[in-house]
């Protein structure tokens, strides 16, 4: 096995719930992303750990604002979100974008390209952008969006 193949097959150990909670409390976006991945997982061990993280985050939620943005493809949603996000950050806020892309009924795939269209916002340390596929969920919201919002608000 080549060195590259070996590195690709190595798995990073899943952090403990306590490590994720501490990281989220400290504003670590890697911990936030990993916690959202656990929430989206179907592995029972991951779901148990995710439930502990969510429970802790529910207790520590500050005042936040939620804004939903929808529109047909090509209307400028990503451009608008990036401009709004940068403006909010310049006003002293932190921003989390949960971008939900529709899943193809044929291929079951999703493009997940919103983050690449928001390069200025994506490179800002006070911004977190998480693309997710809608999967089988209807209405433009992924199955675990509510839980992801709770984690982002912590």
Q: How many domains does the chain have?
A: 1
pTM above 0.95, yes or no: no
pLDDT of res. 33: 95
pLDDT of res. 4: 60
pLDDT tens track, the chain, 154 positions = 566 655 555 677 889 999 999 999 999 999 999 999 999 898 999 999 999 999 999 987 678 999 999 888 889 989 999 999 999 999 999 999 998 876 555 554 445 556 677 999 999 999 999 987 765 655 556 678 899 999 999 8
Full residue range of the structural domain in which residue 17 is found: 3-153
DSSP string, 45-87: HHHHHHHHHHHHHHHT------------TTSSHHHHHHHHHHH
Coil, strand or helix at 131: strand
The Cα–Cα gap between 4 and 8 comes to 6
pLDDT of res. 86: 98
């Amino acid at each position: 096995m080549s060195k590259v193949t070996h590195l690709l097959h190595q798995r990073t150990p899943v952090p403990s719930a306590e490590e994720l909670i501490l990281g989220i409390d400290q504003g670590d976006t890697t911990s936030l992303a990993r916690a959202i991945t656990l929430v989206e997982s179907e592995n029972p061990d991951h779901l148990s750990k995710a439930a502990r993280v969510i429970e802790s985050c529910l207790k520590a939620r500050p005042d936040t604002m939620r804004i939903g943005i929808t529109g047909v493809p090509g209307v400028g949603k990503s451009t608008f979100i990036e401009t709004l996000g940068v403006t909010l950050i310049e006003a002293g806020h932190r921003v989390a974008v949960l971008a939900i892309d529709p899943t193809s009924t044929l291929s079951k795939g999703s493009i997940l390209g919103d983050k690449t269209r928001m390069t200025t916002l994506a490179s800002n340390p006070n911004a977190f952008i998480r693309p997710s596929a809608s999967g089988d969920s209807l209405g433009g919201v992924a199955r675990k969006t509510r839980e992801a919002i709770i984690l982002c608000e912590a």
